[in-house]
Amino acid sequence: MAQFRARHLSTTRGERDVKTLTFIGGAIVIFAMLFGCAFIDGYALIVLWGWFIAPTFNAPPIGIAQAVGLTIVVGFFTSNFHRRDEEEKGFWKACVGQAVKSIGKDGMALFIGWIVHLFI
């Protein structure tokens, strides 16, 4: 009986360790995705700012920290945080979907901005 109890306790600890590591790994992935998307948003804003805002309004160029801060503030006021269709997909699919949308949005903005910039 003591051997069964010891095995049962060690399995339970092992399961807790796996759950803890899974949680920590998931948190690291989420923070990496957040910082990665914020950096890409900031880079897109730096490029577009340099192409359009700086020459038009004689504004100084901005750095990555200012660009990321601006995208966070503007995103805070303009985004819809709760979407029912993403809730049905599952947490990880929704996270990856948002990252793909963010990167695609930035890429499309840079592409269209590049084309417009060619005509200025």
Please list the alpha-helical segments (H only) found in the chain.
2-48, 54-57, 64-78, 84-89, 91-118
When comparing pLDDT for 8 and 39, which is higher? Answer: 39
Which tens digits make up the pLDDT trace of 10-55?
Answer: 556 667 777 787 888 888 888 898 899 889 999 999 999 999 999 9
In a domain, 65, yes or no: yes
In a domain, 70, yes or no: yes
- Give me Rg for the CA atoms of the chain: 22
Percent pLDDT > 90 in the chain is 42
Residue range(s) defining the domain that contains residue 88: 30-118
Entry pTM: 0.74
Identify the band that residue 66 occupies on the pLDDT scale cut at 50, 70 and 90. Answer: very high
In a domain, 78, yes or no: yes
When comparing pLDDT for 42 and 85, which is higher? Answer: 42
Helices (H) and strands (E) in the chain, counts: 5, 0
Count of the separate structural domains present in the chain:
1
d(C-alpha 86, C-alpha 95), whole Å: 9
d(C-alpha 61, C-alpha 63), whole Å: 7
In a domain, 63, yes or no: yes
Identify the band that residue 90 occupies on the pLDDT scale cut at 50, 70 and 90. Answer: confident
What is the pLDDT of the chain when averaged over all its residues? 83
d(C-alpha 53, C-alpha 61), whole Å: 9
